[in-house]
Amino acid sequence: MKSKTEYLTINTKTRYAFVNITSQVRKIIKESEVKEGLCLVNSMHISSSVFINDDETGLHNDFEKWLDRLAPHDPINQYRHNDTGEDNADAHLKRQIMGREVIVAITDRELDFGSWEQIFYGEFDGQRNKKILIKVIGE
């Protein structure tokens, strides 16, 4: 069995962002030489997410509005976590909703996606370096 582990570092210019990382994942899969297997893509920070969906601006705006209704940033004193001096409790909650990782099948050296599927990094408390783990395993 072959395996490859890589880490991406993301630093968004804004507190809140969705970044399409599909091309970076594809590159790592090609480098791995795995023909048939699995690819894990995992956000390694508790205020960010990895998820699969469509790369469509309107949908991303809908995600942002929906998440802000479920876990608004302000007022920050509504969250006990922020009593510690933090101001990112909403980011932790958004991460729980959007998920920690995705696993995608690799078939014939390619991500085995459905129509329109892409891999995204969701940032909910940005403007600093955060890591994403990419682990490819298979034959």
Q: What is the pTM of this model?
A: 0.96
- Would you kindly state where each structural domain of the chain is located, as residue ranges? 2-138
* pLDDT (0 to 100) of residue 102: 98
Which among 36, 39, 38, 3 has a CA at the least distance from the CA of 21?
A: 39
pLDDT grade for 44, boundaries at 50, 70 and 90: very high
Q: 124: burial class by Cβ within 10 Å (0-12, 13-18, 19+)?
A: buried
* pLDDT (0 to 100) of residue 110: 97
pLDDT grade for 47, boundaries at 50, 70 and 90: very high
The contacts of residue 77 (CB under 8 Å, 6+ apart) are none
* pLDDT (0 to 100) of residue 51: 98
Fold type of domain 2-138 = Jelly Rolls (2.60.120)
Cα distances (angstroms) measured from residue 118 to each of 21, 23, 90: 8, 9, 25
* pLDDT (0 to 100) of residue 88: 97
Evaluate whether 106 touches 34 at the Cβ level (below 8 Å).
yes
